Structures are given as structure tokens and as C-alpha cells.
């Protein structure tokens, strides 16, 4: 009992240490402008100016900055997944010459930071006539996040037994249908992890957006927020208020997909174990074994699945097993 209390106390202290910068941002955003330059300064404002969060929308085109950031982050995530899913699936299911070198090359590209390549990126965008466009930001963000997504999805696809897809082939499904109906639902924790990583990386990207964009209606939040503090003006209260507003979309994203991230982390990887771990109460190896035993003992509608394929389908988690009866039509 004492150990549990100590661990809980340490956890709260660590959480408080991470939340202190945000608390400082919140307090500073509520200070009047005259108090920000007062010496000596005070931690808490003498007058809580809640209107700063409303005035910031008229002080700068924050709506435009947020729209650009959402557009770039969402489009870059979609492009990255569209390229990473087939690449990771093919490398996980096929053995070909140069496969190891290809995966190593994908990993090596993660060593190059955008800051080191910003001059080459700018020259390339000038040659393609893509400077000061949203397309340039989408392509650059997708290119930098693609290697990580390929690697993590490759690991998930490799851990999924081929027998599950072979059972779908026997039911008359093609390669694409087996991927979308069997493999992707099981590897959903990995897909969600790739989505979160790509979205946050594109949302927080700064140096490339600062280099290739010039118009205010083409700049994302990361470039627009520092414009509150320049050599001619210093509106720190608006800067911190906008920074807090910029956190809201990412928090909303985490609220909706938290259960998938927890399932992927507790499952220790992809495959049937990772998908089973996404179920509430099934977070350990023993829990997954019990879940699989419960699935095998659960009654099945007779005649829907041939006997030769029941053992393979029975290995699926229960929330994926039930729809499997109706996914494919049996060949006659």
C-alpha cells in the first residue's frame, strides 16, 4: 500500500513538471500588456485579462494560420499513409533481392534533418515553381514522415500470420480485399500510431514553412505565432494565447484515438496479440491467452464457415471475429 502511494506521488510530481510550462503560458496569456514589461515582474497577474483570448483573433489572422496548418497536416498524413501502407505491406509479405538494403535506406533517410536540407529543398521548390504554395508544404512533410511510417507499419504487417490472409483467399477475397478487411483492422494500432506521428510532425514543422512561404495566407501557425514579437512590437500575451490555442487540435486528436494507442503500446507490436490487447482488460500475454480461449469457446453459427478455416478464424479477437462470418462469399 505504501509503495502504491509513493508511486502515485512520484507520478503526480512528474506530471506536474511537464504541466508547469503550460501553466506558465496560461498565466502569461492572461496578463495585461503593461504588466509584461514591469520590473520586477510578478508570477500571477494583478488583473486577469480573459479578453486576450478573444482579442488575439483580431490582432492577427489566426483563423488563416490554423486553416493552413490543418490543411497541410491532414493532407500530408493522407499522402504519407497512401504511400506507406502499400510499401510496408509489400516488403512485409514478399522476399525480393535488395529488400534489406531498401529497408536500411528507408531508415538512413531519418538521419537527415530538415534544417540541413532546407537550402536544397528551397532550390527544388523554385525549380518546380512551388514556392509559397500549400502543395510544397504537403509534399515536404509527407516525404520526411514517410520513412518512419513505412518502418512501423512493416513491423506490424510482419507480425500478422499469413494464414489469416490465406483464409480470406479461400473465401474468395483478393489481395486488396484481404488487406482492407483482415490485415488493416488487426494492425490498426500501428496505423493510428503512424497517423498521430505524421500529423503532429506536420503540425509542428517550422523551418521549411518559414523558408518556402511568404504570403500571410500561406503560413501555418508555427510561422504565424512568432509574428507577435518582432523588433517593432512585442505582444507576449497574444503569443502565449495563440500557442495554447494551437494545442487544442492535437489534444482533440488524442482524445479520439487514445484507445488505439494504448492498445498498440500494451500489445508489444502488431498481429493478433496487438489487436487483442486493444480490447479492455486484455493487456498482458495471459490476458490475450484467456481472450483467445474465450473466443474459441464462443458459439458460432453453424454452416457459415468451413471447418478447415475455423481454427484460423478462431484466432482472431472477438471484436474482429464476428464480422468475419459475413466478409466474403464462399466459393462454390
Structure confidence by residue, pLDDT tens digits, 54-64 = 888 988 899 99
Residue 255: CA count within 13 A, CB half-sphere: 6
Given a cut of 50, is residue 225 above it in pLDDT? yes
Pick from 121-135, 174-188, 239-253, 303-317: least confident: 303-317
The pLDDT score that the predictor gives to residue 269 is 46
Residue (of 81, 294, 314) closest to 192 by Cα position: 81
Position 26 pLDDT exceeds 80: yes
- Mean pLDDT: which of 5-9, 19-23, 68-72, 149-153 is highest? 68-72
Task: Tell me the pLDDT band of 95, cut-offs 50, 70 and 90.
Answer: confident
Which of the residue ranges 150-164, 221-235, 276-290 would you say has the lowest mean pLDDT? 276-290
Bigger pLDDT: 69 vs 308? 69
Helix axes 162-170 and 307-314, enclosed angle (nearest 10): 140
> How sure is the predictor about 156, in pLDDT bands with cuts at 50, 70 and 90?
confident
Higher pLDDT, 255 or 16: 16
pLDDT, residue 135, reads 93
The stretch 135-155 carries a mean pLDDT of 91
* Residue 192 clears pLDDT 70, i.e. is over it: yes
**Proportion of the chain above pLDDT 70, given as a percent:** 78
Residue 297 pLDDT exceeds 70: no
pLDDT for 272: 43
Of 80-89, 115-124, 180-189, 285-294, the range with the lowest mean pLDDT is 285-294
CA distance 66 to 74: 12
Which pLDDT score, from 0 to 100, does residue 1 have?
A: 64
Q: What is the pTM of this model?
A: 0.74
d(CA 93, CA 157): 8
What was the pLDDT predicted at 76? Answer: 95
Average pLDDT, the chain: 78
124 vs 175, which has greater pLDDT?
Answer: 124
* pLDDT-based confidence at residue 262 (cuts at 50, 70, 90): low
Place of cell 478455416: 309
Average pLDDT of span 177-191:
84
Q: At what angle do helices 52-59 and 236-267 cross, to 10 degrees?
A: 100
Alpha helices in the chain (DSSP H): 2-29, 33-36, 52-59, 62-93, 99-108, 114-127, 134-158, 162-170, 175-178, 184-186, 188-204, 207-212, 221-224, 236-267, 271-277, 285-297, 307-314, 318-324
Residue 231 has pLDDT above 80, yes or no: no
Amino acid at each position: 500500500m505504501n509503495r502504491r502511494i509513493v508511486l502515485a506521488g512520484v507520478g503526480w510530481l512528474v506530471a506536474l513538471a511537464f504541466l508547469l510550462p503550460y501553466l506558465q503560458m496560461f498565466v502569461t496569456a492572461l496578463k495585461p500588456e503593461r504588466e509584461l514589461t514591469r520590473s520586477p515582474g510578478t508570477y500571477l497577474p494583478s488583473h486577469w485579462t480573459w479578453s486576450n483570448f478573444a482579442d488575439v483573433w483580431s490582432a492577427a489572422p489566426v483563423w488563416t494560420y490554423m486553416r493552413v496548418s490543418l490543411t497541410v497536416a491532414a493532407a500530408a498524413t493522407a499522402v504519407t499513409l497512401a504511400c506507406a501502407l502499400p510499401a510496408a505491406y509489400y516488403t512485409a509479405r514478399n522476399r525480393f533481392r535488395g529488400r534489406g538494403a531498401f529497408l536500411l535506406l528507408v531508415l538512413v533517410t531519418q538521419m537527415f534533418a530538415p534544417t540541413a536540407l532546407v537550402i536544397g529543398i528551397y532550390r527544388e521548390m523554385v525549380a518546380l515553381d512551388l514556392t509559397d504554395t500549400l502543395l510544397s508544404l504537403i509534399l515536404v512533410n509527407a516525404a520526411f514522415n514517410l520513412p518512419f511510417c513505412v518502418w512501423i507499419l512493416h513491423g506490424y504487417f510482419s507480425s500478422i500470420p499469413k494464414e489469416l490472409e490465406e483464409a480470406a483467399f479461400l473465401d474468395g477475397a483478393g489481395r486488396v480485399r484481404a488487406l482492407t478487411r483482415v490485415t488493416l483492422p488487426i494492425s490498426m494500432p500501428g496505423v493510428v500510431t503512424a497517423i498521430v506521428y505524421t500529423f503532429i510532425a506536420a503540425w509542428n514543422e517550422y523551418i521549411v514553412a518559414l523558408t518556402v512561404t511568404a504570403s500571410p495566407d500561406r503560413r501555418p501557425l508555427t510561422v504565424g505565432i512568432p509574428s507577435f514579437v518582432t523588433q517593432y512590437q512585442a505582444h507576449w500575451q497574444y503569443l502565449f494565447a495563440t500557442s495554447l490555442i494551437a494545442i487544442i487540435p492535437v489534444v482533440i486528436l488524442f482524445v479520439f484515438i487514445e484507445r488505439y494507442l494504448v492498445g498498440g503500446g500494451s500489445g508489444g507490436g502488431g498481429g493478433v496479440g496487438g489487436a487483442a490487447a486493444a480490447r479492455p482488460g486484455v493487456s498482458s500475454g495471459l490476458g490475450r491467452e484467456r481472450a483467445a480461449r474465450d473466443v474459441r469457446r464462443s458459439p458460432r453459427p453453424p454452416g457459415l464457415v468451413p471447418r478447415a478455416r475455423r481454427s484460423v478464424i478462431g484466432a482472431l479477437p472477438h471484436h474482429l471475429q464476428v464480422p468475419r462470418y459475413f466478409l466474403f462469399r464462399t466459393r462454390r
